[in-house]
Chains A and B, each alone.
Chain A
Amino acid sequence: MNELVFFINNVVIAGSVTGSIYAIGAVGVTLIFSIMRFAHFAHGDMMTFGAFMVLLLTTLFPQAGAAIGVPTPLIMLPLAIVLTAALAVGIDRAFYKPLRAHGVKPIVMVIGSLGVTLMLQGLIRLFAGTGGESLYVDDRKEIFRLALPIEGVRVPVVVTEPQLYLFVLTIVCVVGLHFFLSRSRLGKAMRAMSDNPALAQASGINTNTIVAVTWVIAGGLAAIAGTLLSLDVTFKPDLSFFLLLPIFAAAIVGGVGHPYGAIAGGFVVGFAETLAVFNWSVLLRPFRDSLPDWLAQAGNLAFVGTEYKIVVPFFILVAILVWRPTGIFKGKVI
């Protein structure tokens, strides 16, 4: 049983954590894809920017959270969301809109977004330095150990405070997004524009507004994902390149342009990563006596070492591009 708890800690919880972050990131990417038809490479840096804003605000007002008993970074998150959304809209106005107005091919937009990536990276590193920093400036990271009421189980299930916040916020985001897209006038207009931009315009939908709303949502989600990731581990300015591949893989797995698919894709990629680096020999340990020697002796049965984690989303990406370029779900894909 101890092995099972170990599995829960290392795969179920860790996979849900990574999956949530990828899912929130991939939703933003897929929304941008569906409205503006290009792969937004600066998304990872918008996440970093959001986390950096939280770090900045928390450093400025470290005691803000203590008043209501919540970690300060979480108090600062809404503000960071607003700032990141504003940044996203500003970047669009300054860099993407002129390119769109010229009617360039999507791939030129991609290159433009790489330029934006570098600018953001340069700015963040200029101000934040290159090292890692904890977002818990003045708070303590609570760790919950839940002992299971089963005999012989000594290992507790371990969940940290930021992970709980992450799960709650992920659910809030997903539910909120669902209601926004299916009930609100703007959300429906957004889906309409993703379906058929010309007809959306002919119906009187102001496409500039929809583009701005898309950036606000994508930027806000990016701030959430980046902050929660940095809460869970630490804030690192060079986070973005390692986030980019899994997030795009998630968006493509779910079918580009499908927000719900992106959520599912995020969890697929997140769990695939944790399952791939999990050392399966742990689970074999209870059956040691009944196994053949070579298997019982195997010390490390992980598929890939943690240093090769990035291979997993890449493998998923290649597999999906080879077998089902439209993603695992049926339906229209952009």
Chain B
Amino acid sequence: MSTTRTDTVAAPRRFPLREVILFVALLVAVLGVYGVMGAAYSTRMLVEAACYAILALGLTIQWGYAGQFNAGVMGFVALGGFCAMFFSVPVNEAFWGSELPGELGVVLAYIVGAVLLVVGASRLDRLGVPKRLRTLITVVLAVVLYLVVISAFRDVAGQIEDQAGFIGGLGLPAWVGWIIGGALAGGVGYFIGHVCLGLRSDYLAIATIGIAEIIKAFLKNSDWLTRGTATYSQLPWPVPGPAEVGFTLARALYFSVTAVMIAVIFFLLHRAYHAPWGRMIRAIRDNEISAAAMGKDINKRRLEIFVLGCILMGIGGAVLASFNSLFDPQGYLPLNHTFLVLVMVILGGPGNNLGTIFGALAVYVIWLMSEPLALFVMELVVNFGEGAFGWEAPASLDSRALQARVFVIGLLITLVLRFAPKGLLPEKVKHVD
């Protein structure tokens, strides 16, 4: 990427030919899917693609606006999904009716107390304690308190699992979980961003990959909170469900909700992008040193954008989980929830919201259609192999065929980076010659 940009030179208004062609092609593809796969299936595809578009918008502002690479989208998506589940599923009387909430509360109070104690110990040097001694005291205290608290906690968690299964939800409307899911993802993003954003850009990628795996490990193993691998299905919808109005209509209603959300996010982002704040963000991305020299608080701006992106990912993840009506911590995969989103963004056009939405829809359609296609191709290969060489295919061929898609996604990423680094709809609209 060149450091000199002709950002301020406004391109003359023109007919957005490229956009129109791409979106018309997309529309044709979607209609084709409708024709072949039926309305219920295709509407589901559209809703899921819309959820992915929200995720992709989150990533495009991090990567496209600010040049921050978040390699752990999956973690934020899973957090959102968890919140959607936790706030919307019915209250579990078996838990709330027992004395367990009290015990859990006591343990949580212990945790807060322990944290306060450790923080207090870390400030002992202000009372005249030598710094080395303070560090020693803090570390020892932290280790001991941690062991005590975690023991107590494991105890209560075990009891909850034995007696009540899991603590259940709060029985609130779905949108509460969506909002809090966004907030929680933003909070985690704040923590990670606070640690990494002043450092090399690679460190953020490493740390986000790590946090995503940790979030997944936590959600998967905390049976008392999430039912873990047992999963929880039947998350309620904010619109009438399939049982009331039928699949297609219910999904269409859900789709209209997501479409409105995307429109609102798109509008707000568009405003922000052209506001002084957005210009500042791009100035920092393009030339950090001169932006700093002009007195911009780089790290604060970066943190804002990173947190904003994470919030969008949390919301998108929550909406997606609600729609699937299922919270399955094991179902969160780096491939489906990180790299697919990455491809959507870099293919669509990082930093271009319209391009990102196009990328999300197009890639999701291709992704979904590639599954039967991969199986079909594999079958052809097997038939050819059997016919020509008498080759006996291994049994697990179907699952292996799907792995070929992993390869294709990877290839796509490297090819786009090399041949179309600005995506199909580049951020700055210039004349195409």
Contact = CB atoms under 8 A, between A and B. Distances in A.
Contacts of B203: 39, 252, 321, 325
Main secondary structure of the interface of A (DSSP, over half): helix
B39 to A, nearest CB: 33
Contacts of B399: 129-130
B417 A241 contact: no
Given A99-B418, A317-B206, 12 more contacts: A102-B418, A107-B67, A108-B417, A116-B410, A126-B404, A241-B213, A244-B206, A244-B209, A280-B147, A300-B154, A303-B150, A314-B211
A308 to B, nearest CB: 6
A112 interface: yes
29 contacts: A38-B202, A41-B209, A106-B202, A110-B71, A110-B202, A110-B205, A111-B413, A114-B71, A114-B413, A115-B409, A115-B410, A115-B413, A116-B410, A117-B410, A118-B410, A119-B407, A121-B403, A122-B403, A126-B404, A126-B407, A130-B403, A249-B206, A256-B200, A308-B221, A310-B214, A314-B210, A314-B213, A314-B214, A318-B195
A254 interface: no
B217 A311 contact: yes
A125 B403 contact: yes
Contact of A325 (B146, B199, B407, B418): B199
A115 B69 contact: no
A321 B421 contact: no
Contacts of B396: 129-131
Interface string A295-334: 0001011010101101101100110011001000000000
B107 to A, nearest CB: 15
B346 interface: yes
Q: What bracket does the count of chain B residues touching chain A fall in?
A: 35 or more
A122 B400 CA distance: 9
Nearest to B2: A103
Contacts of A244: 206, 209
Nearest to A256: B200
A89 B132 CA distance: 48
A176 B199 CA distance: 33
Q: What bracket does the count of chain A residues touching chain B fall in?
A: 35 or more
B26 interface: no
A286 interface: no
A165 interface: no
Given A105-B1, A308-B218, A321-B196, A122 B205 contact: no
Contacts of B404: 122, 126
A125 B400 contact: yes
A130 B203 CA distance: 30
Interface stretch (B167-175, B241-249, B314-322, B334-342): B334-342
